[in-house]
Structure 1
Amino acid sequence: MAYECLQDQELMRLLLQGNEKAFEAIYTRYAGKLYGYARKNIPTKEDCEEIIQEVFESIWLRHEDLTKVTLLEAYLFRMVKYKVIRYFQHSAVKRKYEEHFKLFESIYDSLEEFEKEPSLIQKVIEKGLAGLPDRVGQAMRLRLHENLSNEDIARRMNIKKIVVEKYIGIAKSHLRASYDNLI
C-alpha cells in the first residue's frame, strides 16, 4: 500500500488503529511544513526541531485518542502554534530567573569574607540599601525581596523599564561600594 498517496482522513483512520506506516506518512507529509512554520517564530534550528519532535511524539503516544481530529493539517499546525507559545513563555521565565541570578551572583560573589552567612549578608545589603535614594532603594528592594523583573518593577512603580534598569545599576554599584567600605 502506498501510504503517501492516501488522503489525511484515511491516514488518520489507520493511525487510530496504531499503523506505524500511516504515522510515517503523516510525518513525511507535514514535518517540513511544520518546521518552516515554527522557524518563522523561533530563530534556533535545534529548538524548532525539538518542537516538531515533541508534536509527533505526542501524536504517536496519543494516537488512539485522536478520534475527533477531522482536519489533520490544521490540528498539527495548532499543536505547533501552542508549542511555540509555551516556548516563549518558558523563555521569558528563564530570562527572568537568569537576570535575577546574575544580580544575586554579582552581590554575593563579592561577599566571600562573610562566608555567605545569610544574616551577615542581609545586614550588609540592608545597610547598603539604606544609603540609596528612595526610588532607587524601592526598585532594588522589589527586585531582592519580591523577585520582580524590571518590567514588573516598572509597572509597580509607574515608571519606564529603562529607568528601572538605571536604578538597578545604580543600586548594584552602590552596594558594591558599600561592601568595599566595610572591609
Structure 2
Amino acid sequence: MANYSTCTDNELIALWKEGNDAVFREIYLRYDKLLYLYAYKKLRNREESKDVVQDSFTWLLNHRNELHLHTSLSGYLYKTVLHQILDIFKHKGIIKKYAESGEHYIEVNSPEADYLIREKDIAALIENEIAAMPPKMREIYTLKRREFLSTKEIAGQLGLSAHTVSTQLKRAMKHLKVKLGTVVFILWILS
C-alpha cells in the first residue's frame, strides 16, 4: 500500500477523484480527530460529535464525482461539519418551540424530554442569578444580552462612560460564571 502522508490535500483530492480509493484512508486519518474536536467543542456531546464526523466522511465518500472544492479540503470538511451542527441546533430549536407551544406529547423517558427539562432548569437558574445581580449591573447586562446594544449605546443611554459599562459587563459575566459553574456558563454562552 502506498504512503500518502506526504501528499498535499489538493494532491489527495486529485488522486481520489481519479478513482484511487486508498487515498480516502489518508484523508480520513488526517482529519478525523480534528473534526471530532471541532464538533465536540460546539455540541458537547460525544456521540453526536462522532455521528456528525462520520456523516461528513460518508457524504464525501458517496459524492466523489460531485465534489468541487472552491476552498481547501480542510475548509470544506470543517464547513460540512458546521452545517451538520447547525442542523442539529436547528432541530433542537424546533423541539424547544414545539414544547413551549403546549400542543404536544413527549414520551417522559425520551432524550428530548430529558433535554427540555434540563434546559428549562438551567434557564431558571440563569434567570435567578441575573435577578440577584446589583440593579445597575443587571440593567447593563440586560441591555447588552437581551436588547443587543453596544457598549457605547448602553453608556449613552444610561449616562455612563463606556469604560464603566465594560467593567460592569465583565463583573456580570464573572458573577454568572462563579454562580453557575464553568460548564453551565459555557453552554449558556454557546446557546
> TM tier, shorter chain?
0.5 to 0.7
Distance apart, 1:104 and its partner CA: 5.0
SS at match of 1:78: helix
Deviation at 1:95, TM superposition (A): 2.9
In the TM superposition, residue 69 of structure 1 has moved relative to its aligned partner by 4.4
Q: Which runs of 4+ in 1 moved over 4 A?
A: 102-106
Shift of 1:54: 0.6
Deviations 1:23-76 (A, max 9, x none): 110000001001101111101100000000110000011111213345101111
1:26 aligns to what?
A: 27
Contact 2:98 2:104 in 1 (8 A): no
What's 2:55 paired with? 54
Q: Which has the higher contact order (CA 8 A, sep 6+)?
A: 1
Equivalent residue letter for 1:49: K
C-alpha deviation, 1:20, in angstroms: 1.9
Q: Distance in 2 between matches of 1:87 and 1:46?
A: 13
Q: Map of 1:63-142 to 2, 5 A cutoff?
A: 63-100=64-101, 104-105=104-105
- Distance in 2, Cα, partners of 1:82 & 1:13: 24
Aligned residue in 2 for 1:109: none
- Per the normalisation by structure 1, the TM-score is 0.52
Greater helix content: 1
* Structure 1: gaps (5+ residues): 107-183
Structure 2: tracts of 5 or more residues without a match? 107-191
Rate the CA distance shift 1:91–1:18 in 2: closer, same or farther, 3 A.
farther
TM (normalized to structure 2)? 0.50
**Percent identity among equivalent residues?**
30
Farther off after superposition, 49-58 or 13-22: 13-22
Give the counterpart letter for 2:94 in structure 1.
V
Equivalence for 1:110:
none
Q: Which residue matches 2:11?
A: 10
1:38 alignment counterpart: 39
Q: CA deviation at 1:94?
A: 2.2
One-letter identity of the residue aligned with 2:30: R
Paired AA for residue 26 in structure 2:
A
CA–CA distance in structure 1, aligned partners of residues 104 and 52 of structure 2:
32
Give the aligned CA root-mean-square deviation in angstroms: 2.0
Cα distance in 1 for partners of 2:93, 2:14 equals 39
Shift of 1:98: 4.2
SS of 1:6's partner is coil
Number of aligned positions between the proteins: 105
Residues 75 and 97 (structure 1), Cα distance of their counterparts in 2 relative to 1, 3 Å cut: same
Check the 8 A contact 1:31/1:52 in 2, yes or no: yes
AA aligned to 1:94 is I
